[in-house]
Structure 1
Amino acid sequence: MRLRWVLCGVLLAMQALTLVARPDALAPAVAGSIYLPLMVANAVGLPVYGRAESGGWAAPSVLGWCVVAVFWALVWWGVAMLVARLLSGPRLRAS
């Protein structure tokens, strides 16, 4: 269980670093990682976008940032759970 928390924390920290220190080569991927979950939430009817300036992309609202954070936390938790399961090896159950 501890391995899952550590892996999930490392993955979330790496994603947060890409949001803070955006290299130009990763800019499309960073924008996609924010706006793809928002597009799905918007299609469901959640108000995830703030007011848009004329001709530009609308910034995420507070709810939008929460949706993005929860979405990626769940994705990285699933990845960490899978990696931890693969690294722990087979378990024998007592019958």
Structure 2
Amino acid sequence: MFTWRSVAFLAPALAHAGYIALGDRLPQALAPAIAVSIYVPLMLLQGLGLPVFGAAESGGWPGPSLLGWALLSLFWLLVWWLLFAVVIRLLSRPT
């Protein structure tokens, strides 16, 4: 059912999703990278006028809305798919 290509694509995508899901349980050194991987794409999508952030608590950063999480998932799946497609193309070139 799964080929090596599908496993090679899903492994980094699922690892990335796992790091996001672990949140506060990760080492503090990884927190900025995880926050950037969430908020930068959402800020770009918010610039397009999409309501990707939920209501913010007083003095805090707003969390992603349901639409925000869905679009964030699609964004990163697309990024991983494009990266994987480029790597496969480079590796399959005849020498």
TM-score where L is the length of structure 1 = 0.85
Identity of aligned residues (%): 49
Deviates more, 1:79-88 or 1:33-42: 79-88
- Note the 1:44-83 alignment, pairs <5 A: 44-83=48-87
Which residue in 2 is equivalent to 1:10?
A: 11
How far did 1:17 drift?
2.2
Preserved contact between residue 4 and residue 77 of structure 1 (Cα < 8 Å): no
How far did 1:7 drift?
2.1
How far did 1:13 drift?
1.3
Structure 2, unmatched stretches of 5+, are: none
Structure possessing the higher relative contact order (Cα contacts under 8 Å, 6 or more residues apart)? 1
Cα RMSD after superposing both structures: 1.6
Greater Rg by CA: 1
Over 4 Å off, 4+ runs = none
Structure 1, unmatched stretches of 5+, are: none
